[in-house]
Amino acid sequence: MDEFKVRTVDLQQVQNQTRHKTDGLSSSTLVLRRGQAFTVTINYDGRPFDPLKEKLIFRIVLGPIAVEVPVSRFGQPSLTQWTAVLERSVPNPTGPRALSVTLSSPATASIGVYTLQLRVEARLSVKTHLLGQFTLLCNPWCEADSVFLQSEDLRTEYVKSDIGLLFKGSTGNIVPQSWSFDQYEKGILDICMKLLQVSPQHQADMGKDLLNRSNPVYISRVISAMVNCNDDKGVLMGNWSGDYKDGVNPSKWSGSADILRMWSETQFSPVKYGQCWVFAAVMCTVMRALGIPTRVVTNFNSAHDTDGNMTIEEYYNEKGEKLSMSRDSIWNFHVWVESWMKRPDLGRGYDGWQVLDPTPQEMSAGMFRCGPAAVTAIYERRVDAQYDVPFVYAEVNADVRTMIVRNGRVLSTSVDKRRVGALISTKRPGSMSMQDITSEYKTEEDENTYRGSMAGVTGRSTTFRCEPQSDRIMVTGRSITFSCEPQSDRIMASKGVEVSLQLLKAPVVGENISFNIIITNNDAAPKLLRKHVNAQNKEYNRNPTETFWEAHDDIKIGPKETVTIKHEISFKHYMLKETEEDSLVNLAVVIEDVKSQERVLASEEFIIRSPSLDIQIQNEVSVIINTPQVATVIFTNPFNVAVSGELTVSGSGLLEEKAQMRLTIQPRETIKKRVNFTPRMAGARMLSANLVLENPPTIMHGFKTINVQAS
């Protein structure tokens, strides 16, 4: 009879990827998860396989690292080493015969793109067959994997879901923005693997890098640095200048695939441009693709403490103008990611969510990256726990020291322990709503205790929670204290004079900003007061810039009298110069008692929201895979002038290519634009629409989630 001769080997791509929950991920290779068995079928000619006459040895190659795995007739798959077990011989009298072999990888295997070979050793010959490549990912379904996550609902949300909801704006006016993570889009997984190959760690020492890739702590630290381009061939270049002429305005991105493809197609040149939510969303895509559970997190009123003293310094002049005198800043919001993993390097109690921040802010061990910092370590103030816990702790817990200055001299100082880290949020699993996770970062004690130095010195603080974005400063002579009111009462307690600001409605682009200033004279004598109101433009990540509107006048107020003064800032005063999706304003009022020189300052930061787009689906309850459907994007022009711009509609698994159209919309006109789509993936999908107007330069967003039923 003829000798045993291997004809072909079938890697059983469809069956293996379904079992490994990697179906839908697009790659040029078979995609598997570590710590789990997979099956290959060896088709052969000649006599039946006889383990006494020939040996079958799989050779598993990752760069310079190779493992030889002999096929055993008996045995069990192992979680600690590579194994290959002969399952059965498949009789087929007419066609080629087949052997079924179950291979399994250890739960600690390095992630990467492997080459699989089969060597057949007979008495007189040795033949090697190249079987192809497979991509090995982390496995949150495997208890022995250090990224194991117990809940199937959470694995679905934080690994499998490609629908994102990011939170921006301010605590008083939260703006949700949809994001498509796009990990199932064509070629994206291969680009994510390429990101590891291009990293400085891999270029410097390939063997060491590949061995370290068994550890998600190491992997996440590499990715955190590679998502920004500051010291490597990373994906995104940051730009906060407002000038994006030679790239893409960060607010125009709506998903990760365009960014990752652009990076790959330009031989790893940085994509222009990103800001914090773009960096974080792209990192979330990469981590989910690699099998590491990850979510995007927003910290509202996020401190950037440049000198590490746990205090953010803010300066005002006597007329309520906020001054740029400090490198420290409070970002209205800052976005990072959390990834789920074990932390054996920190000892017991620090497994679970870890903060990772790819936005280039400060260096960590010589590179622009941040984390993983265990959320538990931040909560417990374990500032010695690596990596970067002091920096993240300050982002959510720093004190704010506000000083009123004149001619370079500090007139008075206050400390606010409440504003920073006012709200920490993420998308709620299985829902397009917000989940408040502040209590995972901060204890009640953090909210009530003087933190002093980072050494854990504590003492009682007398302030209590301010209404979000409405911290008040009260000045009396040479001292200054913060005074906050209960949520239901906007009046600020003071000795002689009280003042508060009250927005009459949430500001929207195209409309006037209406607000009241409420002043109360607590004394039994009349007063002459001087009123200074100041409005400044603000970027979300730094101090205000120029004043765009101000009002100054004198007021006579009677004994025990309260006066309410209404102000309006017209649209023409704040009309945007650069294309913005939401613009921020710092509004402040200083009331000066002419006789006593007592000054009271109230300030509020708020967002002027862009109008949103509405998306409607024709037969929303019966959207079926591979069946044509129609969506309608609806928008009403809120401006008194005609506007022009470009509408873009996208949806991973719904639209093969983005739908783009030029629009001109008359004043107050409502337009309805139909978009045809055919769903090609079942489950929860999302349509996103962006409208970029030229004049006034504004970006508007809208999204609609759709449940696509299998046919």
Q: Which active-site residues does the annotation give?
A: 276, 334, 357
Burial label, 196 (beta-carbon count in 10 A; 0-12, 13-18, 19+):
buried
Q: What is the largest CA-CA distance in the chain?
A: 118
Is residue 513 within 8 Å of 502, Cβ to Cβ? no
Q: Which residues of 325-345 are buried (b: 16+ CB within 10 A; e: fewer)?
A: eeebbbbbbbbbbbbbbbbee
Cα–Cα distance, 697 to 687 (Å, whole number): 23
Q: Are 443 and 393 in contact (CB under 8 A)?
A: no
* Kind plus residue range of the DSSP H or E element containing 684: strand 683-694
Quick check: 679 and 708 in contact, CB under 8 A? yes
Alpha helix (H) residue ranges in 227-365: 257-265, 276-289
Contact between 278 and 251 under an 8 Å Cβ cutoff? The reply is no
Residue with tokens 């982390």: 138
CA–CA distance, 341 with 292 (Å, rounded to integer):
8
Secondary element (H or E) of residue 14: helix 13-19
Residue 390 DSSP label: H
State the virtual CA torsion across 245, 249, 250, 254 in degrees, nearest 10.
-140
> Exposed/middle/buried for 352, CB within 10 Å: 0-12, 13-18, 19+?
middle
Contact 463, 447 (CB under 8 A): no
Question: Which residues in 504-598 belong to E strands, given as ranges?
Answer: 513-521, 527-538, 547-557, 562-569, 582-593
Exposure string of 397-435, with b = 16+ CB inside 10 Å and e = fewer, is: bbbbbbbbbeeeeebbbbebbbbbbbbbbbbeeeebebe
Taking the CA atoms of the chain, what radius of gyration do you get in angstroms?
Answer: 30
| DSSP code, position 195 | H
How many other CB atoms are there within 10 angstroms of residue 244's CB atom? Answer: 16
CB 569 within 8 A of CB 549: yes
User: How many Cβ atoms sit within 10 Å of the Cβ of residue 670?
Assistant: 11
**Phi, psi at 102, each rounded to 5°:** -100, 120
SS3 labels along 102-142: EEECCCCCCCEEEEEEEEEECCCCEEEEEEEEEEEECCCCC
Q: How far apart are CA 296 and CA 337, in angstroms?
A: 4
**How many alpha carbons lie under 13 Å from residue 603 in its C-beta half-sphere?**
26
Report the alpha-carbon distance of residue 225 to residue 232 in Å, rounded: 8
